[in-house]
Amino acid sequence: MRYVDEYRDGRAAHALAGELRELVEPGQNVKLMEVCGGHTHAIYRHGLDALLPPEVELVHGPGCPVCVIPMGRVDDAISIAERPEVTFASFGDMLRVPGGRRRSLLEAKARGADVRTVYSPLDALAIAQREPDREVVFFGVGFETTAPATALTLLRAREFGVRNFSLFCNHVLIGPALRAILDSPDVDIDGFVGPGHVSTVIGTRPYEFVCREYRRPVVVSGFEPNDILQAVAMLLRQLREGRAEVENEYGRVVREEGNPEALAAIDEAFAVREDFEWRGLGAIPHSGLRIADAFAEWDAELRFEVPGERIEDPKACRCGDVLRGRAKPWECTVFGTACTPERPLGTCMVSSEGACAAYYAYGRHTREQVSA
């Protein structure tokens, strides 16, 4: 398969691993955060951590869009979905996410709510056009990666005058989340593997503040094993040479300026919220998108009354620490016991891109062998 196989070549990977060993000094401890859940998933899916020198530690960041939706927002979604007139359309992986009382959209569906899986927000708009008697609500989640498609859907809804469609908007922004992590106490991340998909939209410039203000290097990376190893090598080289710059490993897809059309659509349809609550990280200023005033008519939060309750993250759960790189998944006392992918307690166990879920699904054998 072109564009895949060449980046999964084992021999090239082992050569890169050799290069990585040359780039660290024995006894050195380098902490690198892979921001995006797609990277976390790929690292465990391919068993990549085995190829890193022991001096390099990967910390799993907050870039799993499903994981960061707070429980109160899930409850709001369920309350909209349970209205008899509503058809609630969502991406598949949001369906299993538990809200407060550990209920999910999947359970609401089993109890009679009209919840449907879609692969694109435009599919939800098409349902609204096909079924004019239903109130179709789309559950908008994701970073700048998915926000443009949602924005375009709003533009289309206005263009075609589809009034029985609305959006429950939970889109979030990567930059403010990075800043929040850099500003937290006892966080000592030496560099960042920058998100690939988000960067196809926003480009590489929005990460410059990380280098300028925090003196940390950022390398935007693709999602194949050899992309990630290459990005780690580029970060180690920067650290070794005392540089802190934004570099682009994913040049076959990501451009410095991003995708101007996608950014324009986001600008037109959305506005930045004062703050938005993230599961595990708390409220982060200017980190979420709301529907722009010009599109208020399509705002599900204005059309339907939602409980809007804030629900504390479970006390036993250390997701916040995991997301900041202060704890590893297996250091959390509920990991694999009270909190599993079937019945997740914390955010990181929810989607296969969450650090705990990825570790639970793919990685726990090595650790159990080491400790056995």
In the bound complex, what is the minimum distance in angstroms from residue 189's beta carbon to another protein?
Answer: 23
- Nearer residue to another protein within complex by CB, 26 or 372: 372
The H-or-E segment that residue 41 falls in is helix 37-45
- Nearer residue to another protein within complex by CB, 113 or 211: 113
Q: In the sheet where 165-171 sits, what is the strand order?
A: 114-117, 86-90, 135-142, 165-171
Our CA angle for 318, 319, 324, nearest 5°, is: 105
- Nearer residue to another protein within complex by CB, 27 or 112: 112
In the bound complex, what is the minimum distance in angstroms from residue 122's beta carbon to another protein?
Answer: 10
What's the rounded Cα separation, in Å, for the pair 142 and 194?
16
- Nearer residue to another protein within complex by CB, 25 or 372: 372
- Nearer residue to another protein within complex by CB, 315 or 365: 365
The strand pairing partners of 30, in sequence order, are 56
CA dihedral 105, 109, 111, 114 (to 10 degrees): 120
In the bound complex, what is the minimum distance in angstroms from residue 108's beta carbon to another protein?
Answer: 10
Q: Do 155 and 268 contact (CB within 8 A), yes or no?
A: yes
- Nearer residue to another protein within complex by CB, 159 or 369: 369
The strand pairing partners of 87, in sequence order, are 114, 136
In the bound complex, what is the minimum distance in angstroms from residue 264's beta carbon to another protein?
Answer: 20
Residues that bind another protein (CB under 8 A): 1, 4, 8-10, 13, 38, 44-51, 65-66, 91-96, 106-107, 109-111, 117, 119, 123, 141-143, 145-146, 197, 225, 341-342, 351-353, 360-366, 368-369, 372
In the bound complex, what is the minimum distance in angstroms from residue 89's beta carbon to another protein?
Answer: 12
Q: Do 27 and 344 contact (CB within 8 A), yes or no?
A: no
Q: Do 253 and 204 contact (CB within 8 A), yes or no?
A: no
In the bound complex, what is the minimum distance in angstroms from residue 95's beta carbon to another protein?
Answer: 7
What's the rounded Cα separation, in Å, for the pair 325 and 33?
8
Evaluated on CA atoms 67, 29, 227, 360, the torsion sign reads negative
- Nearer residue to another protein within complex by CB, 52 or 239: 52
Q: Do 312 and 341 contact (CB within 8 A), yes or no?
A: no
What's the rounded Cα separation, in Å, for the pair 248 and 205?
11
- Nearer residue to another protein within complex by CB, 149 or 182: 149
Q: 299 φ, ψ to 5°?
A: -90, 115
- Two tokens, residue 366: 């090595």
In the bound complex, what is the minimum distance in angstroms from residue 66's beta carbon to another protein?
Answer: 7
In the bound complex, what is the minimum distance in angstroms from residue 310's beta carbon to another protein?
Answer: 25
